[in-house]
Amino acid sequence: MAEMTVGPGSEQHSLKRVIGRRVLLLFVVGDILGAGIYALVGKVAGNVGGALWLPFLIAFILAALTATSYAELVGKYPRAAGAALYVNKAFSIPFLTFIVAFAVMMSGVTSASAAARAFGGRYLAEFVTLPVVVGAFLFLGLITLVNFAGISESVKVNVVLTIIEAFGLLVIMAIGVYALLSGDGEPSRALEFHPANGAFLGVLGGTALAFYALLGFEDSVNLAEEAKDPQRDFPRALFGGLVVTALIYMAVAFTATMLVDTETLVASSGPLLEVVKVAGFAFPPKLFALIALLAVGNTALINMIMASRLVYGMAREGIVPRLFAAVHPTRATPWVSIVFTVGIAAILVATGEVSTLADTTVLLLLCVFTMVNVAVLVLRRERVEHYHFRAPTWMPVLGAVVCAVLALPVTGRGADIYLRAGGLVALGVVLWFVNRLFLSEGKRTS
């Protein structure tokens, strides 16, 4: 396939197009699977009762709306930049582009912080009793060492952990099938609907949390430059990956509520471990706890790698202070950006809970998704010569509206979550203006 340009002055792609449809599908599935389902099943149940599969179904439908926008945009502009590229092309406002990129970066940090809190909870307690914060800090230290060691080492660890976390969910699904065949559990409990704050708010709150478990599909656009045929393969891999993970999550949610009462799920920071402990066939709880810990670790590692590289990339482009572009002389990793992002994560771990940090992640990305859904409509005025997927107009329109609504306090989201998200974005604004101040002073003294 001939190389294409996306605008005046743009350069030809230098990355090799080697990724086929199947590898793309596996990447999307692996990117979505993670800490969310291992940690938040109980919190979702707290919003809706036994029918906790319902918020996962609704979250999948809502995610699919935004996925159509990503599928269209990555087909039009197959470059590894994601939301920031689309917003920049649509609006050409550098500050807005920066805010979107910084929000994406901070969503990675908050997601990793939620994973760290989950790591220090019930699953870790199977091996050692530590305060949650202490366990979370030790965990942050461990993934920071892996991140600092180098990208090659980090990617290898990620591949192994993705396989392990998928196996853990297959174990839960096998437990569910066995329970149905043997007549164990209470399948009727999966139909019990007891919303904590009324039907509307209960479903909205549960969906906002369940949405966290489906995040990650948007990261796959960064493989656009290395896909063999992104215009045709990416939409199929994206939608296929969402369907596969949604089915897995709904099966896991159904199994959990069928075998464990809602009160136990809500009270546990390791809800899937409760499922294993009451299973009709023996699966070592400690082994499953280890699998869960590794799954949580994988989510945090992916997010911290992404966050530190985004800060590094922005520093290289002169968008934030150049200090963050420093690379370690022997490990060739952006050590200042790594220290910066893990420092923020440590503060978040010390001041938030799993559910609030997950909700902060969702809030940040809902704002980004709103912009992406609007951008795809604005960019309809810019035509390209090659074939690409085109979303039905009603889908990005509805996606923008739904994401904007879910970002509002109507979901029952607490003021502390808005303050936390606002504070993180405000930090980016400060870095932006500090950098511009130093650039201006440098021009005056030169």
Sign, CA torsion 416/417/418/420: positive
pLDDT category of residue 446 using cuts at 50, 70 and 90: low
The neighbouring-strand residues paired with 198 are: 196
Q: Indicate the Cα dihedral angle 170, 173, 177, 183, nearest 10°.
A: 140
Q: How far apart are CA 214 and CA 249, in angstroms?
A: 9
| pLDDT of 312 | 83
Domain ranges of the chain: 21-439
The string of pLDDT tens digits covering residues 179-207 is: 888 888 888 888 887 777 677 778 888 88
| pLDDT of 17 | 63
Sign, CA torsion 164/166/167/168: positive
On the question of pLDDT at 146 being above 50, the answer is yes
pLDDT category of residue 155 using cuts at 50, 70 and 90: low
Quick one: which of 66, 350, 82 has its CA closest to 211?
Answer: 66
CA angle 181, 207, 22 (to 5 degrees): 65
Q: Indicate the Cα dihedral angle 159, 126, 260, 204, nearest 10°.
A: -60
Encoded tokens for 439: 């650039």
Residue 163, amino acid = I
The string of pLDDT tens digits covering residues 72-120 is: 988 888 775 678 888 888 998 989 988 998 898 899 899 999 989 988 8
| C-beta separation of 220 from 27 below 8 A | yes
H/E element, 112: helix 94-119
For the segment 129-154, the average pLDDT, to the nearest whole number, is 82
pLDDT category of residue 235 using cuts at 50, 70 and 90: confident
On the question of pLDDT at 7 being above 50, the answer is no
Q: What 3-state DSSP class applies to 356? A: helix
Q: What 3-state DSSP class applies to 226? A: helix
Quick one: which of 208, 230, 291 has its CA closest to 28?
Answer: 230
Taking each helix axis from N to C end, the angle separating 132-149 and 335-351, rounded to the nearest 10 degrees, works out to 170
The neighbouring-strand residues paired with 227 are: 19
The more confident residue out of 221 and 207 is 207
Name the CATH topology of 21-439.
Amino acid/polyamine transporter I (1.20.1740)
Which residues lie closer than 8 Å to 15 by C-beta, 6 or more apart?
80, 225, 226
Cβ atoms within 10 Å of 327's Cβ, excluding its own: 14
| pLDDT of 325 | 83
The string of pLDDT tens digits covering residues 390-408 is: 989 999 999 999 999 889 8
- Most confident segment among 184-188, 260-264, 306-310, 327-331: 260-264
Which residues lie closer than 8 Å to 61 by C-beta, 6 or more apart?
none
Q: How far apart are CA 3 and CA 21, in angstroms?
A: 19
Q: How far apart are CA 250 and CA 245, in angstroms?
A: 9
H/E element, 70: helix 53-76
Instruction: Say which range, 16-25, 40-49, 131-140, has the weakest mean pLDDT.
Output: 16-25
